């Protein structure tokens, strides 16, 4: 049974009450529950985590990559700033699908650049909680192979 890591970065613990017009009203626990059902239907198991600390994200990505396990990553604000997260993906060979709830290209200019996209297998954004599900479907259907 494939293990898929779902790694959530800073402020995503506030989902449900955080800027609901942008991020919706589902909590992170709601997303985990819904995604767990989709994973089970496809014979996959999830390791779903959140941290507000950049180093935790780096460590978890390294561990997944070195174990050959795929990652669905919503790095939150670190998406736009973190060379360390990019290096963790590249250095560990982690197969990562970068996701965002919001359409980052329809928001502030600084959200249009991602440090992660160039080392990700693919990127999905703008579909709210569904972004997680679409990433999971890409992984379980084998479509998120890194072709580089």
Interface residue with ligand DQA among 6, 102, 115, 120 (CB under 6 A) is 102
Interface residue with ligand DQA among 46, 71, 79, 139 (CB under 6 A) is 79
- Which positions are annotated as active-site residues? 23, 100
Cβ nearer to ligand DQA, comparing 65 with 76: 76
- Report in angstroms how near the CB of residue 65 gets to ligand DQA at its nearest: 20
- Give the integer Cα–Cα distance in Å for 84 and 13: 21
Q: Does 76 bind ligand DQA (CB under 6 A)?
A: yes
Closest listed residue to residue 148, CA positions, set 112, 113, 104, 117: 117
Q: Does 100 bind ligand DQA (CB under 6 A)?
A: yes
- Give the integer Cα–Cα distance in Å for 98 and 121: 8
- Report in angstroms how near the CB of residue 132 gets to ligand DQA at its nearest: 10
Residues 51, 125, 116, 76, CA torsion sign: negative
Q: Does 104 bind ligand DQA (CB under 6 A)?
A: yes
- Give the integer Cα–Cα distance in Å for 60 and 6: 10
């Amino acid at each position: 049974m494939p293990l898929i890591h779902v790694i959530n970065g800073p402020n995503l613990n506030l989902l449900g009450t955080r800027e609901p017009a942008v991020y919706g009203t589902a909590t992170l626990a709601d997303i985990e529950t819904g995604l767990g059902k989709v994973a089970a239907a496809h014979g996959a198991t999830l390791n779903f985590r959140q941290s507000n600390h950049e180093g935790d994200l780096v460590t978890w990505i390294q561990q997944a990559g070195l174990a050959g396990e795929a990652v669905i990553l919503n790095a939150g604000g670190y998406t736009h700033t973190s060379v360390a997260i990019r290096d963790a993906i590249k250095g560990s060979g982690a197969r990562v699908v970068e996701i965002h709830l919001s359409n980052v290209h329809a928001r502030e200019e600084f959200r249009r650049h991602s440090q992660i996209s160039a080392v990700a297998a693919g990127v999905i954004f703008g579909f709210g909680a569904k972004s997680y599900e679409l990433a999971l479907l890409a992984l379980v259907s084998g479509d998120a192979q890194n072709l580089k």
